[in-house]
Structure 1
Amino acid sequence: MDNRSPKAKTDKQLRDVIVFAVDDSGSTYTVASYWSKVQEQYDAYLSQYSPARIIPVLWNSKLTTVTHSQLAETIAKRAGGGGTRASNVATYLTTNNGHLFNVNKVCIITDGQISTAEVELCDRIFADGVANGALAVPEIEACLFGPYNPDLSVVAPFARAAKFTIRTNDSVLAEGDATLAVESSGLLDEIKTPDDLFERFEDLNRIIVVQNLGKTNQKLRDRLLELQKRLMDWIAWDNRRKLAELAARGGANDELGDGVVYTNPIHRALAAGDYQAAVDATRSMIDTVLEHGDEAVEDTGKRVARMIARLVDACTLGSFAIGALQSRRAQRATLAAAPDSGVPAAVVEEKDDPDMPSKFECPIMLDDTQVPVLLITTNKHYHDDYSMP
């Protein structure tokens, strides 16, 4: 994609540069965990790129271009002061990119976050800059370092129209390409089946989150709901096709010869009187849930609805929350690993049911859309006393 605006200079004598922008606001003062990560990132860039290509800048309430030795001194002293004005970085880029040099990449490092008003100011600066001949920045690496666990507000205006990598202290939080607006790029039209959505969901979610951080995008919301309707129509068609195929096969799957065809492996095992096979199938399903969560055994329609709802939230809630970029599995792992999360351990209670005097035990689950618990009578198969659902 050509990021040049119609008015952008294309002078081949402009040198290609990488802007290395380090937040040295007051909150960074003497914070070892922040400055040590800045040093690591700086060393990595010096190894990967020619130092002559890198322009170091320090930003707080103002922005200062510095030499490599001055940046090294700031890192060593862990110096910091002033506020957090990301708009100074936006102004620097739009003033110079395409005029004094061509910015190939920006690495912006911060320990904090900014107000919604500051984010909106940055957005206006970038939009006005491109309209007046500045080049859009094609690639962003945003680093959220230090002890404060900031949100994505600093990231938002820089990454929403670029290839992006977002780092936290210990890992890459997200990578993607947000240069094409999802609502007008045809990306949603390429999703024809639920499997297409499932395969592309994580990438699509990252792009939608980054493009709409702090915003409400009603146009994209409407497009997502149209996509959901198309996929639900496809599911209905596919269900009719499967039922027709089952009817055509008929007695081939009618283990008991009672005219009932069981497609669920647990139903099928119980219908055939194979209790051990039912237990094995249940254990397999439980293992799947424990590894992948409840969504692993959702039916297709529910899974589509859940994923579309998450994408709609991403473009309408106006949030900068970092959790929006995490996968469901990562969110669960984070929650489970957080000792101060305030979430108590699950408690299993045993209660007497006056309508069910017999002792009951687990585990046979017949409904594969729910968490795996279904009580059965001791030493009896479920279907001995009760009709199949």
Structure 2
Amino acid sequence: MNNNKEEKPKNNTHGGFFRKIQPRNFWHTIFGDFRDIKEFYLEEEQKNRLEGMRPIARWFYLAGWLLKSLFMKLTPIRRLLLLIAIFILFLQNSRIQFGSLGANLNFGELGGLILIFILMLELKDKLLARNELEEGRAIQMRLLPDPNPEIAGWDAWLYSKPANDVGGDLIDCIRFNDDHHILVLGDVSGKGLPAALLMVKLQATIRALFTESTRLADLGFQINQIFHRDGITSSFATLVVLDIRGDSGKIRMLNAGHTPPVFIRDGIPSPTAKGNPALGLMADTPYNVIETVMQKGDVLLVYSDGINESCDPQGECFGNDRLFSLLRKRPDIQPTDLGVRILEAVQHFRGEARPEDDQTLLILKYCGQ
């Protein structure tokens, strides 16, 4: 028999609901949400005009533009309800009496109820969209490859994190056999769901077209034609494909408009040659293939612009200079440790600013002969 008395749960009702809200986090969240509101509701022209206004005029114009934009983003029925609610609120001192019981309705209360009803409708739409995005994110996460694929003679680390719920960066590893692997990193223009859908299409196209005997140049040409034919107007994608066969240290690389990968030998980083145009810009673009022979200890870094173009709260970008300086400090570091170090440096530089773009890394180190 257990003689220990069952411990009664502590009563946290007085602070349970608010215990995770700290004063600093509260105001940081409020100001962050207000910045997001301005970013979402205001057009670029309006933002530029606000910069040149006096403080009082700026707040009046800001309030007016925000209300107008909010009104125009509502559905027609909800716009009508909002107008009715605002009109009724001006009659809040009037009352309507119902029957002999003397029950009455305050116009102000009625206007408030209509506003709450509109808020509930908008929240319902947001939660439905949120659930769909969360499901999309879960699917996208399942499409990610093993972060440390086993490649004979090589040590690899693959990483991708979207800035929003879903992203447009592509990272993939295609294994044909123990001696033949394809590593892919791509970046679709745009953000959010449209970019994510195009990214999935790009990934499926690569996997469908690439066979063990496919030439990289032909692959680039075919993918570009399909992406140009089926892509959305003004959309494009950058892409780096690495073809690794055996443990000889030889890499065949195709670069379609992506930031040049960085080759690191003895702690000295140097960007590879600039690639061909991005996918989707021109239908019949030819693509060249670069062959590189790596020595033991050499590292190849491929990254998306969410790394070097990550900005701090003042708008300054992390940049390639900071990235290259980081790469010089530990020439013998392993790919996983190097990737974590890069991400930590970018996060520290960005501070409290929100990430504006997806962050994707492909780091490959030759450990063979």
Q: Report the TM-score range of the alignment, normalised by the length of the smaller protein.
A: under 0.3
More strand by share: 2
More helix by share: 1
TM-score (norm 2): 0.23
TM-score (norm 1): 0.23
